[in-house]
Amino acid sequence: SGYDRIDRKEGILCIFSWGFPRKYRYIFLRFLMKDIQSIRIEVKEGIYARCVLYMEISGQGPVPLTRIDENLTPRKIEQKATELAYFLRVPIEVF
């Protein structure tokens, strides 16, 4: 569980996730919106096919936005990526 906060006026994006990486821990990330380079969709094919959504941050690398065990369809991932990229005004990359 957690939340995302986007403040366009100040140009800040915050991501908070409770229970990551363990039950009683959390992660809090804060980025400048101008540092967001793209929204990335990673598709793994094979027996255990999966799609993962990332946000590519300049100087930080990719930040996962979906859990690895979250089994979303490619259509759902594409929809989420499109909405987020449109809102943030960044391109979408597919790997």
pLDDT band at residue 69 using 50, 70 and 90 as cut-offs: low
52-68 confidence digits (pLDDT tens): 899 999 988 898 888 76
Residue 35: which of 5, 55, 7 has the closest Cα? Answer: 55
The amino acid that residue 92 corresponds to is I
Beta partners for 7? Answer: 12
The pLDDT assigned to 12 comes to: 94
- Is the pLDDT at 22 greater than 70? The verdict is no
Q: What is the dihedral of CA 71, 73, 76, 80, to 10 degrees?
A: 60
Q: Which domain holds residue 20?
A: 2-94
Q: CATH number of the domain that 86 lies in? A: 2.30.29
Domain count, the chain: 1
85: number of Cβ within 10 Å:
19
Q: Report DSSP state, residue 58.
A: T
Pairing of strands 36-44, 92-94: parallel
pLDDT band at residue 50 using 50, 70 and 90 as cut-offs: confident
The pLDDT assigned to 20 comes to: 62
Confirm whether pTM is higher than 0.85. Answer: no
The pLDDT assigned to 17 comes to: 84
Task: State the Cα angle at 65 between 80 and 63, rounded to 5°.
Answer: 130
The pLDDT assigned to 44 comes to: 79
